[in-house]
Amino acid sequence: MLKVFYSYSVYLMRMKKYLLIVTLLAVGLPFAANAQFEKLKDSVVQLFGVVMTADSLKGIPSVSVEIKGQKRGTYTNEQGVFSIVVMKGDIIEFSSVGYKPKTAEIPRDLDGSQFSLIQLLVTDTVYLPATIIKPRPTREQFERDFVKADIPDDDLEIARKNTDESKRRALARTLPRDGGENTNMMLRNNAQKAYYYGQAPPQNIFNPFAWSEFIKAWKRGDFKNKN
């Protein structure tokens, strides 16, 4: 009986401790969340400004305004004006074709939630190597070089040359037979032997069609030494 009473007392103590923790969390969490929200709210800044040329103070359109380290940004309008929401301490990158990139940092100790900025960009000068253009000495030389110019074949001309009959015939004589062709030839030879099994096969020495095929093969060069 004493053991049961002791266990029940331990259970009540644990329940009181649990209820105390839950009560503290229920009371403290809203204050912590509110404090965190206030801190985040105080860090948000509405940044607006204009991007201009350093020499003539003209607005530059389509300048990329991007927060460094984040995939977030905007572009300037036709007058070079932009607006974007940033955080205190963010680094803003300005870049445009033909101008050197610049960066600007939002002050961490900024008072308020708005910040204006005038960003000047310097023209990025690119120097190319000098190129000297010389005319042709005479019209005759230009016509000679133009006629003798080697123009590479296009895809259609390459395909036409690859499918030329003479080239296909030369490839057919030099390329070895594959497995399917060798198998078909063996089957035809075996079928011919089985067809004339037990008798002498006919001779084509007096066959005019056989002589015609022989002459055609001789003209094509089928019997020439391939080495």
DSSP for 95-122, written as a single string: E-TTB--EEEE--TT--SSEEEEEEEE-
Q: Which of 68-82, 111-125, 179-193 shows the lowest mean pLDDT across its residues?
A: 179-193
pTM check: above 0.75: no
- Answer left, alpha or beta for residue 112, where phi above 0 means left and psi between -120 and 50 means alpha: left
44-79 residue pLDDT tens:
889 999 999 988 889 999 999 999 988 889 999 999
What are 28-39's pLDDT values in tens digits? Answer: 555 444 544 455
91-95/114-121 β-pairing: unpaired
Nearest Cα neighbor of 48 from 72, 80, 70 is 80
